[in-house]
Amino acid sequence: GENVEQHPSTLSVQEGDSAVIKCTYSDSASNYFPWYKQELGKRPQLIIDIRSNVGEKKDQRIAVTLNKTAKHFSLHITETQPEDSAVYFCAAAFMNRDDKIIFGKGTRLHILP
């Protein structure tokens, strides 16, 4: 089955700087890669996702890149702000098969003032 590895587990960046979180997956058939943000005590919320037919997707300060050959994908947050502090989870799934979304263990992002 699918296995998703996420790094780093904790990341601290200065406000205004960029943050990058990286994930690798094992099942080459996976074709859907969502990213979730979870603030303390709250539910995970989808912030961006990418499907395997594209290599990059951007939404304002957030971008995701996908390298299918290497089976890794990354989340990039530019011009970080205090409200970006949260735990971020990557995930992978083979949609149209079992649609089972496998999550990484999460990255705790701290934005330093």
Partner 1 sequence: EAGVAQSPRYKIIEKRQSVAFWCNPISGHATLYWYQQILGQGPKLLIQFQNNGVVDDSQLPKDRFSAERLKGVDSTLKIQPAKLEDSAVYLCASTPDRYGTQYFGPGTRLTVL
Which of residues 46 and 112 has its CB atom nearest to partner 1 in the complex?
46
Binding residues for partner 1, rule: CB under 8 A, are 6, 34, 42-46, 49, 89, 91, 95-96, 98-106
Which lies closer to partner 1 via its Cβ, residue 34 or residue 63? 34
Query: Least distance from C-beta 70 to partner 1, angstroms?
Result: 21
Please, what sign has the CA dihedral across residues 72, 28, 4, 47?
positive
Q: What is the dihedral of CA 15, 110, 72, 92, to 10 degrees?
A: -120
Among residues 74, 72, 58, 96, the alpha carbon closest in space to that of 20 is found at 74
CB of 16 to partner 1, least distance (A): 28
Q: How far is the CB of 40 from partner 1 (least distance, A)?
A: 11
Residue among 36 and 65 whose Cβ is closer to partner 1? 36
- Cβ atoms of 37 and 44 within 8 Å: the answer is yes
**Smallest gap from residue 18 Cβ to partner 1 (A):** 23
Rounded Cα distance between 25 and 19, Å, is 20
